[in-house]
Amino acid sequence: MYAAMRGILNKLTPQNFEKLVKQVLKLPIDTMEKLVGVINLIFDKAVDELNFVAAYAKLCYYLNIANIARQFKKGDDSNNENFRKILLNRCQREFEKDKATEYGLHKREEIVKEPNEEKRKEMRLQIEDDERRIRRHSVGVTRFIGELYKIGMINQSIMVTCIKELLKSGDEESLECLCELLTIIGKFLEESLEKKTAPGMGNTPNINVYFNKMENIVSERKTSSRVRFMLQDVIDLRNRKWVPRRNEANQKKIDEMNWATERESIEQSELTASYPQMSRGSGSGMSRRDEKSKGDTWSTLRSKCSCFDVDPHKLREKSSNEETEKNCVEVECDSESEGEHDKTKEERVKKVNSKKRCAEDIAVKAALEVLAKGAPDEHDRFGEYVALELRTLTSDCVRRKLKNDIRRAIINAAE
């Protein structure tokens, strides 16, 4: 029977959840020993597999509703024990267990007394491995308890007691479990405490008192950075009204995954079809590069900008001054070598030259103002030398190239 139960738990997924619940109900659980064994198997799987804690908690909820202990014999003295009570007793024992004594972490003092260096290293590695196992086990128990509270199998007073105990302990393991617990149940617990006062809480109608203690722990900086950041993340989560920064990767059925994939592909195809077909040159309008990339399978990047037609002439006019001057210089050099001048190119060059002269006039005026404030120095003399060299050049094309090189050198040096 236990082997069949392990096989069912290993195959538990959201897709076949209802089917496997029916298989569990058909198992011959007719004694208290078998019931406790089934509960222990579910508990151990839930604690070890943190990503499936919610699924195992949901399984417990359905088994409790179905009254899985109904197969007990009439003469059994344990009939008064139900599924929920046995499960909560196991959760309480694991939550209150002294794990440091169980795994022998009190043997740290023996490491100092051990004379053999190799044996001391082995003992340290063993203790570190035990600490990792304890931390993972504690987090698993806490998350399972939180999931049971979310589905209504644990009442509010028990959760308040768990939070108080974790804060009272104050060690890093307890604080990490506290962060995991509040991340899962914080929203539901706060809404419940706002409606009524929790038993044993006095006049505290909400969980502000616990978050104030958490803020004090963060400000005191007595814990490790890892734990402080976890506490701060929970505090920030509450300040955001328990809205996470990113959606959690919850388990989904295969049908839901297929539907999400199909919807994404439809959106992708609609987005791709919305882009206009742009061409270069004239004629049919598709260049070699466009024809080559037509069969590519790269997905189109999503953009918030709306699609629009682009006029390449306007883009050319709105390009940077440096690229425009460079193009104009190349155009003028080619025209001098070939002896032919295109009217549109000449007009464009004239416009650029006029704009450049205006900019140079402004720069000259600013430079004269700077020179007028003080006596000329070596920098001024070097500038006069550069100006004389530019004046001696007969070719405008070479002169402009030299000016561009000087500007680039100045910009690179300034950066």
35-65 residue pLDDT tens = 899 999 999 999 999 888 999 999 999 988 8
Residue 371 has pLDDT above 80, yes or no: no
For the cut 50, the answer to whether the pLDDT of residue 115 exceeds it is yes
Looking at this protein, which amino acid is placed at residue 168? K
pLDDT at 278 over 50: no
104 vs 50: CA distance, rounded Å = 25
> Given pLDDT bands bounded at 50, 70 and 90, which one contains residue 180?
very high
Classify residue 213 by burial, with Cβ atoms within 10 Å: 0-12, 13-18, 19+.
middle
Position 160 pLDDT exceeds 60: yes
Of the pLDDT bands very low, low, confident and very high (cuts 50, 70, 90), residue 199 is low
The mean per-residue pLDDT over the stretch 119-138 comes to 85
231 Cβ contact partners less than 8 Å away, ≥ 6 residues apart: 175, 179, 214, 217, 218
Q: Retrieve residue 394's tokens.
A: 């007969």
pLDDT range class, residue 368, cuts 50, 70, 90 = low
pLDDT at 179 over 80: yes
Q: Which amino acid is at 207?
A: I
pLDDT attached to residue 109: 67
Read off the pLDDT band of 293 (50, 70, 90). very low
Cα angle at 359 between 358 and 362, to 5 degrees?
A: 90
Q: Looking at residue 132, what is its pLDDT?
A: 87
How does pLDDT run across 332-348, given as a tens digit for each residue? 555 455 555 556 767 77
pLDDT at residue 226, as a whole number: 92
Q: State the first-to-last Cα distance of the chain, in angstroms, to the nearest integer.
A: 76
pLDDT level of residue 140 (50, 70, 90 thresholds): very high
* pLDDT at residue 308 tops 50: no
Lowest mean pLDDT among 43-47, 66-70, 94-98, 173-177: 66-70
Q: Say which residues have a Cβ less than 8 Å from residue 201's Cβ, sequence separation at least 6.
A: 160, 193
Mean pLDDT of all residues in 382-388: 77
Average pLDDT, the chain: 75
Entry field: residues in the chain: 415
